Amino acid sequence: MIQLPGLIDPHVHVREPGQTHKEDWDTATQSALAGGVTAILAMPNTKPPIFDDATLELALSAARNKARCDYAQFVGAGPDNAEALSALANQSAGLKMYLDSTFGELRLDDMSLWTPHFINFPKHIPIVLHSESRTMAAGILFAAIYDRPIHIAHISLKEEVLLIKAAKERGIKVTCEVAPHHLFLDKDLTGLTPGRLEVRPRLASQADVNALWENLDVIDCFATDHAPHTVAEKDSASPPPGFPGLETMLPLLLNAVNEKRLTLNILIEKMHSNPCRIFNIPEQQETYVEVDENAAWEIRAADLHSRCGWTPFEGWKVKGRVRRVVLRGQIAFEDGKILAQPGYGRNIRA
């Protein structure tokens, strides 16, 4: 048995408000606990998006009633809300800016719309960018010009990790995360229908995947980008992009530790220490995760807690399983059972 600190997932799509048929604060935080995650940072591309005082309250009131683990909620950059959001900054996980096309309405196509956010949002709270390839390069230039920290979500390409490395070497305040699906899957994956394969950023080449593993020291965090959509939606004529990931991230990474592709210290650094530092998350008292590093098991969607009902890792055999999660002195998860009640979760920013 190994004891880990409480793990933080800085990138989760909870889907509430608005799309609770996919997931809600209850099921998302059940998935988190079953995956050894004791705090989640929730993305703002809900329905409506979280982009002002009233919509932030909508998300936080649902979380207050339903969350079983700790949390904070991102606010989303829109065309004309930069000043309003800077006033909400301290109540938020951070500011999310969607600079490339993805699921939901939040999107800043026009570069002139980026500037007010970079100028107004307080520097002690990160701006997280969904920005791929050349858009990411532009985002890094903005960070340099406005001299403020940015965090790049879900990097997937060799060119991205190498540019972030170069930017860090020059003292630009950029951090980044990688999602498990970009570490364990590539675009030549077979056995998933085209709809299920849809995800943004798309799965990349084997060369890109290799470059991510070779440059793990450049990558600050592991983050799921847990993006649940139902089986019916994924198998429909217009499948939305996204994979669930909360319950499979830690087992996949523990399996990689078993295969000596990773050390436990690196895992702890990227799932606890670094996210706590980057996102200003205070230490969760009396909080830890016990894992059986030798338990071999098979991932099956039917056993997972997400409402979406599927996983891209169906049938994968992994070694490493979460046995118990203690959150602020209470057993929150034990041997497959969720014990924390809805509403037990606390807002990290409250």
Site for Zn ion in 119-148 (CB under 5 A): none
CB 114 → ligand DOR: shortest distance, Å? 17
Task: Please select the residue that binds ligand DOR; options are 140, 199, 211, 257, rule is CB under 6 A.
Answer: 199
Task: Please select the residue that binds ligand DOR; options are 19, 29, 38, 45, rule is CB under 6 A.
Answer: 45
Site for Zn ion in 289-328 (CB under 5 A): none
CB 297 → ligand DOR: shortest distance, Å? 26
Task: Please select the residue that binds Zn ion; options are 225, 248, 274, 307, rule is CB under 5 A.
Answer: 225
As to burial, measured by CB atoms within 10 angstroms (0-12 exposed, 13-18 middle, 19+ buried), residue 19 is: buried
Q: Say if CB 94 and CB 128 are below 8 A apart.
A: yes
Site for ligand DOR in 264-323 (CB under 6 A): none
* Among Zn ion, ligand DOR, none, residue 200 binds (CB under 5-8 Å by kind): ligand DOR
Bridge partners of residue 325, in order along the sequence: 289, 333
Going through the chain in order, the beta strands assigned E by DSSP cover 2-5, 7-12, 37-42, 70-73, 75-76, 95-98, 127-130, 150-152, 174-178, 221-222, 288-298, 317-327, 330-334, 337-338
CB atoms within 10 A of CB 323: 16
Q: Say if CB 136 and CB 174 are below 8 A apart.
A: no
Site for ligand DOR in 63-102 (CB under 6 A): 102
Task: Please select the residue that binds ligand DOR; options are 117, 148, 200, 272, rule is CB under 6 A.
Answer: 200
Which C-beta is closer to Zn ion: that of 9 or that of 225?
A: 225
CB 153 → ligand DOR: shortest distance, Å? 7
Question: Helix, strand or coil for residue 10?
Answer: strand
Name every residue whose Cβ is closer than 8 Å to that of residue 221 and which is 6 or more positions away in sequence: 10, 175, 176, 177, 178, 270, 271, 274, 275, 278
Number of residues lying near Zn ion (CB under 5 A):
1
Number of residues lying near ligand DOR (CB under 6 A):
12
Residues that bind ligand DOR (CB under 6 A): 13, 45, 102-104, 130, 199-200, 227, 240-242
Residues that bind Zn ion (CB under 5 A): 225
